[in-house]
Amino acid sequence: MPQPANPQPLTPQEAPALSSPALTATCPTCDSGPGVLCTSHSGTRWRRDSVHRARTAALPASG
């Protein structure tokens, strides 16, 4: 699925999800790569406030 265009870099204040540790993993739901925000279910918008639950679950357990 193509990623939506990102016309300018976002800050963590504009997109709180950028601070999520889950961004180190690829999202199994929307296929966004490490360091890239998840997309909406339709793939037309960036999810700025959160990541998909499956992405968080994909993180290795810290121990």
pLDDT digits (tens, 9 = 90+) for 25-61: 999 999 999 999 999 988 889 999 999 999 999 987 6
- Predicted pLDDT of residue 62: 54
For residue 63, how far is the Cα from the chain centroid?
24
For residue 45, how far is the Cα from the chain centroid?
11
- Predicted pLDDT of residue 5: 66
- Predicted pLDDT of residue 61: 66
pTM of the model: 0.80
Q: CA dist 19 to 1, 2, 16, 42, 46, Å?
A: 24, 23, 6, 23, 15
- Predicted pLDDT of residue 41: 83
- Predicted pLDDT of residue 1: 58
Q: Which residues contact 37 (CB under 8 A, 6 or more apart)?
A: 10, 15, 17, 18, 23, 46, 47, 48, 51
> Does residue 20 carry a pLDDT above 60?
yes
